[in-house]
Amino acid sequence: MSAWIPAPLRQLGQRLRAAAPQHCELLAWFEDKAASRGYQLSEGQRRVIRSMAAQLAQLEEGQPRSLYLYGSVGRGKSWLLDGFFQAVPVEAKQRLHFHDFFARLHQGMHQHRLLDDALGATLDELLGGCRVLCFDEFHVHDIGDAMLLTRLFNALFARGIFLLVTSNYAPEGLLPNPLYHERFLPVIRLIHSSMEVLEVGGDTDFRSLPANREHQRFTQGHYVWPGDAAQRQALKLPDQQPVVLEVNKRPLRALAIDGRRVVLAFDDLCEKATAVIDYLVLAGQYDEWVIEGLDDLAECSLAAQQRFVNLVDVLYDQDRQVTVIGTRPLAQSLGGPLADLMRTRSRLGQLHQVGPEGAIA
């Protein structure tokens, strides 16, 4: 939600180095923006902002301490990250969704697999001379990814890159699967030794506030059930004319395409071997998505559940307008054991929900 952050914030980092106390100006800016949307900063957010300001002041000295922010969905972590990113007074910075970066990291390492240092070559391509790297929505559930993360974090810190990471999970909650968690402990120890770990707390779910909803295309979408003929007509869905798309050199069926609007089946997106990088490519091609055929997620495989979580993450982060057509109410459609589903429930819960005989506005 960075669209409304003004350009003058870019100079804050420079002024913060001379400020006393250093956190006051950044804190005042965040307080003003929170007030303009009708709420007050939580104490957890204030504590994070003070730490951000301290690290901005240390940045020119080359001694900032990386930050790991965690907390429940809707507590303003991405908002804080966006504000910090704008305030950093250097050009060599990148703000990335972790899904996006990790997908491209895998691609690059495959391309450079014959080199002695495939990871280093890939980071050179992806990051160049980056000094500040912001990762949003950091999480890990696959042991293969977990093993790569140890190498990745060591490489980033060895390059002197300042990291700001947001996650729904405290470091100890990453990769909770007991079969693999012990093998992930080196990454957890590395996070604690190299980063300041802060919880973003508070009782307000900021995503639910009307002032936040109006700034997003995603939240203008609908969750519609049971998807009868009248509802489809009200949505002005194009007639189904299936076409096979080529996405990352793999086939993917679309039920219909109308300009920058695409209709896709849940089964094609989530029950088949799709990946985050596929969703990113499609999000770049289509601004409006209609996802057909969501039933009870709890009855799907864990792989399909995780793909759906990833899909919603990408569409939310890329701010695409989304309509999901289910067979039952949303609250009965998102069962399943995955911890990440709490984030998916929060995000889809922001859609306009329309049941039988409901009007679609």
pLDDT attached to residue 114: 95
Higher pLDDT pick, 139 / 195: 195
pLDDT at 17: 45
Q: Where are the alpha helices (DSSP H) in 38-137?
A: 43-59, 77-87, 98-111, 118-127
Give percent of the chain with pLDDT exceeding 90: 55
pLDDT score at 25: 85
Residues 124, 111: Cα–Cα separation, whole Å? 13
6: Cβ contacts below 8 Å, ≥ 6 apart: none
Q: Which of 114, 323, 359, 168 is nearest to 238 (CA)?
A: 323
Q: Residue 201: is its pLDDT beyond 90? A: no
Per-residue pLDDT at 214 exceeds 50? yes
**What's the pLDDT at 103?**
82
pLDDT band at 212 (very low <50, low <70, confident <90, very high): low
3-class SS of residue 296: coil
* Kind plus residue range of the DSSP H or E element containing 321: strand 321-326
Rounded CA-CA distance 149/186 in Å is 10
